[in-house]
């Protein structure tokens, strides 16, 4: 299924989307993935979230508290309260939903302005821009 939109972020988060195109995905699972990522951002102190399309997937970046450099994998473990108990299921859900599609997801440990989730292995169909 071609998904052409990103679901709304919670009211306390500003959402921007960069890039035009479509992702080949099962729509309800992709929406759940975004909702889990946005939920994590809200619980992580973020006020802004950006979804950016890439050649092989997409990136979800926020301006919340950055993860420790040495332990980003812990954020994907069920039952880990990072950053708090309400957020403890959000990133494990993101990873599970990505894997169902055959995708990979990781935290960009070099990004220090918040948390950046990099989802790769996605079939992306970019919209062609028309010359003016």
- Domains by residue range for the chain, with CATH: 2-126 (3.30.565.10)
Give me the pLDDT at residue 67, please. 82
The string of pLDDT tens digits covering residues 31-90 is 999 999 999 998 889 999 999 999 999 999 999 988 877 778 877 877 654 555 556 688
Query: Measured between alpha carbons, how far is 40 from 61 in angstroms, rounded to an integer?
Result: 11
Give me the pLDDT at residue 3, please. 47
Return the exposure string of 88-123: e unless at least 16 CB atoms fall within 10 Å of the residue's CB, then b.
bbbbbbbbbbbeebebebbbebebeebbbbbbeebe
- Which of the four pLDDT bands, split at 50, 70 and 90, describes residue 2? very low
The string of pLDDT tens digits covering residues 3-37 is 455 666 667 889 999 988 889 898 899 999 999 99
- Which of the four pLDDT bands, split at 50, 70 and 90, describes residue 94? very high
Instruction: Record the pTM.
Output: 0.84
Give me the pLDDT at residue 118, please. 97
For the chain, the average pLDDT equals: 84
Of residues 108 and 130, the one with the higher pLDDT is 108
């Amino acid at each position: 299924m071609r998904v052409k939109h990103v679901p709304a972020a919670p009211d306390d988060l500003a959402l921007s989307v960069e890039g035009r195109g479509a992702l080949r995905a099962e729509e309800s699972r992709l929406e759940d993935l975004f909702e889990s990522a946005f939920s994590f951002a809200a619980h992580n102190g973020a006020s802004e979230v950006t979804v950016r399309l890439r050649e092989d997937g997409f990136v979800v970046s926020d301006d919340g508290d950055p993860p420790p450099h040495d332990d980003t994998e812990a954020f994907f473990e069920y039952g880990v309260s990072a950053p708090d108990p309400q957020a403890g299921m959000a990133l494990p859900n993101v990873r599970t939903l990505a894997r169902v599609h055959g995708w990979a997801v990781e935290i960009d440990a070099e990004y220090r302005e918040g948390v950046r989730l990099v989802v790769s292995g996605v079939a992306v169909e970019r919209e062609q821009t028309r010359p003016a």
